[in-house]
């Protein structure tokens, strides 16, 4: 695709474009992106580098500009900086020379003015505020003066070329030509004269405007000061009102509150999911920004302002996203409980106050290498680990933490556009990793048949159930359903390897999210988690890999890339990028952010092939995007989290004792409870007892299966490498039947998976747990 033609430079404007810069005798001229602004000429390797990496800058105020030939020119400051540049054509070179000369003249004048006013620019300490306001007004006046000087420079150029034109025409008049030709020359001369008169009139008018602005500067200063003082008073009043509101809200929560999401502690503590400051953006349709930094597959650049009209009229694709980025949407979500269809909307119900602290982690020292050195290459689930390396939560509870930012799915359920909905679902997949950034402790391996329920219907409108359905390899089934129109289900099996310096954990299985209103069905898989510095140094966690979020109803797709950490990369750590495309492969949104902090999305207005070549030799795709808007931001950890295993607000409540849960619930696990209380020696002893009990139950179950089989089958089982003592044994073949899930072939992915068959919440309501096994 051909590059857009560079605009003719105007005085004072920022001028940018591609030029070839001499690097060395090996590489010769290399293509670089140059930007001329405020008297400085800077260059970058690509347009995407403008936001973070400048390769060099030269000040034009003291620079010399020399033309070598039709396309080459040299810029030097007389010292160490000399740029040998080459344009693509003589016309392009002349445009750059004109822009550079104008910028040099302007920079020289500004430097002279700065030198003249340097001694008078320091205000007294007592009047620092007034001095700041004076400097703002003076800056405005200097800007106006600079513009007039630019026009004066243009006038000089016009006069110079106009005089030359008139001299040429006068010489032509002396030549004997026909009457018609002489008449045309006379007309041209008159027009040139009128053009010069008009230019002079423009200069005079601008000077008159500058004189008027200087005359009224004191009046402007007084008006600005009064407005700022009034704004400060309003901000102080608003701050007092906010404090009073917060105090009343806490007092109100201490008594009784409205049900469901009308008073949602999770929402109140986290705030709206979408970006901060979106509601205060001024005339946001006129602003166009980069969606994200340069990545391997694509580059983003600001969209052309010609899309201003289109973005205002194309409300079908963007109206709801604009509405979802202010506070009104979160209020709408909270008002769901007032829906007359909700049976809880007519009465006040008490909301349980959840705990906000657990006992601090004891400071027990233990040499990890003394345990791990004999386990290199083994499955993590096969390594007997003391609780010293655990955290007081089970893997089922960690799986339930995926719902930390359930509000993203609530908002996705309200989207009218499937592409916007895809953005929120993609942000939800990324948010599930935010709780792992400091969590280097290993969760407890659940016992076979262990369950964990998370009932947050009153506070958040959802409830979930997890069950350990296999032990070798460990696999857990999870099912969550929300009153706000979405269902989440997954079966995750873990494959892990210890490699000496690091530990890799590869989750296997698909995650499904179904929205009731639109019937959109999304699936995706998890990326690889790596724990580094197992032997020496501080443990740290990284997430790397790629995720494809697929809408099986519409064919929409979001490709997310989790960039692995590298000491040599210039990119921000823990970076995530993605592109949302429709079934035809057309890009509609670009996602960017980090998996431990936030995610943003930008609407794609145009895409093209261009920029630098990627690692595979192909050109990257350049996306022209609108301003980035925030989808999700991580909630800060509670105070003292570093002493509480870096648990989030939700994680602190997961192991809190609750009445009515199943006897197989992780909250009832004794070794985990002892560890949370800081009694680690007792927890280790209890952990060994539970593991031995599980082995005994498994062997008994296998003996019963062998007795039920024929003699030939019994011999086959005993001699099989999948026998009970074999490390290759698969938990799905140990004849265990799940209590609340049944194994079926998934109709969407075609994979065998465990799907919730119902009955748990009914059993809890009746208090009937007779069929639950005794695992603790």
Q: Coil, strand or helix: which one is 682?
A: helix
pTM of the predicted model as reported, rounded to 2 decimal places: 0.57
Q: Are 662 and 453 in contact (CB under 8 A)?
A: yes
Long-range contacts of 425-429 (CB under 8 A, 24+ apart): 425/513, 425/522, 425/549, 425/558, 426/549, 426/558, 426/560, 426/578, 426/580, 426/591, 426/599, 427/273, 427/591, 427/599, 427/601, 427/631, 427/632, 428/513, 428/632, 429/511, 429/524, 429/547, 429/549, 429/560
The pLDDT assigned to 344 comes to 41
Q: Is 554 left (phi over 0), alpha (psi -120 to 50) or beta?
A: alpha
pLDDT, block means (10 residues), the chain with 776 residues: 47 78 87 89 87 83 84 83 88 86 82 57 44 62 70 69 69 63 71 71 72 72 82 82 78 56 41 39 38 51 51 37 40 37 48 90 69 57 73 95 96 95 97 92 92 94 95 90 96 83 88 96 95 82 95 96 85 92 94 95 85 58 90 94 93 94 95 93 91 89 77 42 36 70 91 93 92 89
Instruction: For 723-773, give the DSSP string.
Output: STT-TT--GGGS----SSEEEEE-TTT--EEEEE-S-HHHHHHHT--TTS-
- Asked if residue 473 has a cis previous peptide bond (ω within 30° of 0), the answer is yes
For 385, how many CA atoms within 13 A lie in the half-sphere containing its CB?
A: 21
Vertex 55: Cα angle to 54 and 60 (nearest 5): 85
The residues facing 593 across adjacent strands are: 576, 599
Q: Coil, strand or helix: which one is 118?
A: helix
Q: Which two tokens stand for residue 282?
A: 């001024």
The residues facing 442 across adjacent strands are: 390
Closest CA to 61 of 93, 124, 106, 1: 106
The pLDDT assigned to 204 comes to 72
Q: Coil, strand or helix: which one is 481?
A: strand
The pLDDT assigned to 358 comes to 94
Vertex 273: Cα angle to 483 and 437 (nearest 5): 105
Q: Are 740 and 662 in contact (CB under 8 A)?
A: no
The residues facing 453 across adjacent strands are: 465
Length of the chain: 776
Vertex 302: Cα angle to 301 and 305 (nearest 5): 145
The pLDDT assigned to 366 comes to 60
Q: What is the distance between the alpha carbons of residues 226 and 165, in angstroms, rounded to a whole number?
A: 54
Estimate to the nearest angstrom the gap between the alpha carbon of 378 and the chain centroid: 36
Q: Are 618 and 324 in contact (CB under 8 A)?
A: no
- Asked if residue 776 has a cis previous peptide bond (ω within 30° of 0), the answer is no
């Amino acid at each position: 695709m051909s590059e857009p033609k560079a605009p003719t430079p105007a005085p004072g404007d920022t001028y940018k474009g591609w030029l070839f810069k001499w690097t060395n005798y090996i590489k010769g001229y290399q293509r670089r992106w140059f930007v001329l602004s405020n008297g400085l000429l800077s260059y970058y390797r690509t347009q995407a580098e403008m936001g973070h990496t400048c390769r060099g800058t030269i000040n034009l105020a003291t620079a010399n500009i020399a033309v070598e030939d039709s396309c080459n020119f040299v810029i030097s400051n007389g010292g160490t900086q000399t740029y040998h540049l080459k344009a693509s054509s003589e016309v392009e070179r002349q445009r750059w020379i004109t822009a550079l000369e104008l910028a040099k003249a302007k920079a020289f004048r500004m430097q002279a003015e700065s030198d003249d006013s340097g001694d008078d620019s320091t205000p007294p300490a007592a009047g620092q505020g007034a001095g700041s306001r004076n400097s703002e007004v003076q800056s405005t006046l200097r800007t106006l003066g600079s513009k007039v000087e630019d026009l004066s420079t243009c006038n000089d150029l016009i006069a110079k070329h106009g005089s030359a034109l008139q001299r040429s025409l006068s010489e032509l008049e002396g030549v004997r030509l026909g009457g018609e030709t002489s008449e045309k020359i006379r007309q041209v001369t008159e027009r040139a004269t009128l053009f010069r008169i008009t230019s002079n009139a423009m200069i005079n008018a601008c000077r008159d405007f500058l004189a008027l602005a200087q005359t009224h500067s004191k009046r402007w200063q007084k008006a600005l000061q009064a407005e700022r003082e009034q704004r400060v008073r309003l901000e102080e009043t608003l701050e007092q009102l906010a404090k009073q509101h917060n105090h009343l809200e806490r007092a109100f929560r201490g008594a009784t509150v409205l049900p469901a999401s009308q008073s949602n502690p999770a929402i109140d503590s986290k705030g709206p999911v979408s970006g901060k400051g979106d509601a205060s953006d001024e005339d946001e349709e006129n602003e166009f920004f980069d969606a994200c930094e340069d990545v391997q597959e694509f580059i983003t650049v600001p969209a052309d302002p010609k899309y201003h009209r289109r973005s205002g009229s194309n409300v079908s694709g963007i109206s709801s996203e604009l509405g979802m980025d202010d506070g009104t949407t979160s209020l709408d979500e909270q008002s769901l409980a007032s829906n007359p269809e909700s049976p809880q909307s007519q009465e006040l119900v008490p909301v349980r106050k959840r705990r906000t602290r657990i006992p601090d982690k004891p400071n027990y020292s233990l040499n990890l290498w003394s345990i791990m050195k004999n386990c290199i290459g083994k499955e993590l689930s096969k390594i007997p680990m003391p609780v010293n390396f655990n955290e007081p939560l089970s893997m089922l509870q960690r799986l339930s933490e995926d719902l930390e930012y359930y509000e993203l799915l609530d908002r996705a359920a309200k989207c009218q556009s499937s592409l916007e909905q895809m953005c929120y679902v993609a942000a939800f997949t990324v948010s599930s990793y935010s709780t792992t950034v400091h969590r280097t402790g290993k969760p407890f391996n659940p016992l076979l048949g262990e369950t964990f329920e998370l009932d947050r219907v009153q506070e958040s409108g959802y409830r979930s159930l997890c069950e350990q359905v296999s032990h070798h390899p460990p696999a857990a089934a999870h099912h969550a359903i929300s009153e706000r129109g979405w269902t989440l289900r997954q079966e995750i099996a873990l494959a892990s390897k210890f490699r000496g310096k690091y530990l890799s954990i590869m989750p296997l299985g698909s995650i499904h999210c179904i929205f009731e209103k639109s019937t959109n069905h999304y699936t995706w898989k998890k990326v690889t988690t790596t724990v580094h510095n197992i032997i020496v140094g501080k443990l740290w966690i990284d997430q790397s890999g790629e995720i494809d979020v697929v809408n099986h109803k519409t064919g929409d797709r979001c490709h997310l890339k989790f960039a692995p950490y590298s000491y040599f990369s210039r990119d921000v750590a823990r970076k995530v990028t993605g592109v949302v495309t429709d079934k035809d492969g057309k890009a509609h949104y670009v996602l960017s952010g980090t998996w431990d902090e936030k995610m943003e999305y930008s609407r794609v207005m145009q895409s093209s092939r261009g920029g630098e070549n990627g690692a595979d030799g192909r050109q990257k795709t350049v996306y022209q995007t609108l301003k980035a808007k925030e989808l999700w931001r991580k909630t800060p950890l509670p105070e003292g989290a570093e002493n509480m295993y870096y648990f989030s607000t939700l994680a602190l409540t997961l192991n809190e004792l609750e009445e009515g849960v199943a006897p197989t619930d992780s909250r009832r696990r004794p070794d985990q409870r002892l560890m949370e209380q800081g009694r680690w020696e007792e927890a280790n002893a209890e952990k060994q007892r539970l593991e031995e009990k599980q082995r005994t139950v498994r062997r008994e179950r296998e003996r019963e299966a062998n007795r039920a089989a024929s003699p030939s089958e019994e011999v086959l089982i005993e001699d099989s490498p999948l026998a009970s003592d074999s490390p290759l044994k698969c938990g799905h073949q140990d004849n265990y039947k799940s209590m609340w899930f049944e194994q079926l072939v998934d109709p969407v992915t075609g994979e065998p998976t465990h799907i919730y068959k119902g009955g748990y919440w009914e059993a809890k309501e009746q208090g009937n747990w007779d069929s639950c096994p005794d695992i603790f």
